Structure 1
Amino acid sequence: MQDDGFTERNRREIIAIATTHFADKGFAGARVDEIAAATATSKRMIYYHFGSKEALYRAVLTEAYRGIRSAELDAGLEDMPALDALARLTALTFDYHFEHPELVRLVMDENMRHAPHVGDVVEAQNEMVLPSTRALIDRGVAEGTFRTGLDPVDLHMTISALAFYFVSNRYTFANVFKVDTTSPAAAARRREQVVATVLAYCRAG
């Protein structure tokens, strides 16, 4: 293949800009020509290296999920007592969603379209989520700090939902209830509540 000067830096730039466009406009509303115009490359080059708009979107989804999974892996949860690890995982998940609202918008759009891409795209990123959650539960039960009967899917869903909702509904809550949902102070206050809720759900006794 002829060297056309396309680099990994070009690829990262395109994915970053495409992430913004897909998150803001959804898959249907985002346009490759507008994405190309915001980059240092061209529409032709995007199609040449990614193949299609759908393939570019899949690359965006892959990177979005890779980000949160990498943050979880880097947290060192295996070296903590289970209750501390659960608190750390919950806070980390909350913070990641708050700091990356584009992930929330991408997932919302994917759900509105009945998730046509997310299953096969993020399978590799998510394959360790349930086993690691199960291992955390088992460790907590063995340490006597977690109650028995916890399900890893339920726990993962609970943590994700509490983190997701604070971002997905920030504008409706702000308008309806006149509350601040976007400042670091508001996020810190809500994070503390979310962590306490998850710990209470899992704690033994």
Structure 2
Amino acid sequence: MSEAPKKRKARRETSESTRQQLLAAAREAFMVGGLEGARVDDIALRAGSNKQLVYHYFGNKDGLYTAVLEQVYQEIREQEAALKLGSLPAEEAMRKLVEFSFDYLRQSPEFVRILVDENIHYGRHLKDAGAVQAVNKPIIDLIAQTLERGVEDGVFRRGLDPLHVYLSIAGMSFFYFANIHTLSYAFSRSLDGKAEMDERRAHIVDFALNAIRNRAPATPST
């Protein structure tokens, strides 16, 4: 490779590295202060960069916020895809998905906080995130295929809407982690310890699978 292409490659790599550093710093800032509380100066300082580069790469703070939203959605979907649910028996696949949904939120508090903040803004930044719908569609398609396989195998009941199944699975875990501190105070029961989280996880898995299982009709008494 001649000197000029080497320099262009190095500049591209430096540019991408700077962009990723800004995204990481912004993600932390948005998790702590939300869109309104985060400051471009602070994000640039966290990234060890110049705030003018925020405007260069992302246009403005809203553009940076949209990029963070795209990133967090991309990450969870990539990890879901890595589960290879399509290669598992239907019930095992759904169990693994429910477990993953809980575990991911448990390990990624920034995902919960950033999405809660975006809902405060009525999801307006996602309207500008063209990739988000394309990134999220495969999980609904996968659930639809898994439910269909489960019906064919006789383990899942018919008539389940894959989107509603996903919303129920995600919602049970998301509500728990988004409200864990207020719920602990409201019901005078700590919910943020390991044992409590393990108990909640087991409950959600059992609850979700029982909701979609096929129940053979009871045999009439003679």
Q: TM-score, length-normalised on structure 2?
A: 0.86
Aligned to 1:136: 146
For residues 154-190 of structure 1, give each alpha carbon's deviation from its aligned partner in whole angstroms, at most 9, with x where no partner exists. 1011001011011100110122223333233322211
Aligned to 1:37: 45
For residues 73-113 of structure 1, give each alpha carbon's deviation from its aligned partner in whole angstroms, at most 9, with x where no partner exists. 00011111111100000000111111111111111111111
1:197 aligns with 2:210: no
Q: Which runs of 5+ in 2 are unaligned?
A: 1-7, 216-222
- Cα distance in 1 for residues equivalent to 2:127 and 2:144: 21
- Cα distance in 2 for residues equivalent to 1:70 and 1:12: 18
Alignment of 1:47-62 (within 5 A): 47-62=55-70
- Runs (4+) of structure 1 exceeding 3 A deviation are 2-7
Shift of 1:5: 7.9
Shift of 1:65: 0.5
2:103 aligned to 95, 98, 101, which one?
95
Letter matched to residue 174 of structure 2: F
Q: TM-score, length-normalised on structure 1?
A: 0.93
Aligned to 1:17: 25
Aligned to 1:150: 160
- Cα distance in 2 for residues equivalent to 1:152 and 1:4: 41
Aligned to 2:120: 112
Count of equivalent residues: 204
For residues 15-63 of structure 1, give each alpha carbon's deviation from its aligned partner in whole angstroms, at most 9, with x where no partner exists. 1121121122121221111111111211011211222111111110011
- Cα distance in 1 for residues equivalent to 2:14 and 2:58: 12
Structure having greater relative contact order (Cα 8 Å, sep ≥ 6): 1
Letter matched to residue 207 of structure 2: T
The 8 Å contact of residues 174 and 181 in structure 1, kept in 2 or not, is answered as: yes
Higher mean displacement: 66-75 or 120-129: 120-129
Aligned to 2:191: 181
The 8 Å contact of residues 10 and 40 in structure 1, kept in 2 or not, is answered as: no
Aligned to 1:84: 92
Letter matched to residue 18 of structure 1: A
Q: CA 1:16–1:184 in 2, change beyond 3 Å: closer, same or farther? A: farther
1:46 aligned to 35, 54, 61, which one?
54
SS of the residue corresponding to residue 7 of structure 1 reads: helix
1:67 aligned to 66, 75, 78, which one?
75
The 8 Å contact of residues 140 and 162 in structure 2, kept in 1 or not, is answered as: yes
Q: CA 1:196–1:118 in 2, change beyond 3 Å: closer, same or farther? A: same
Shift of 1:202: 0.3
- Bigger radius of gyration among the two: 2
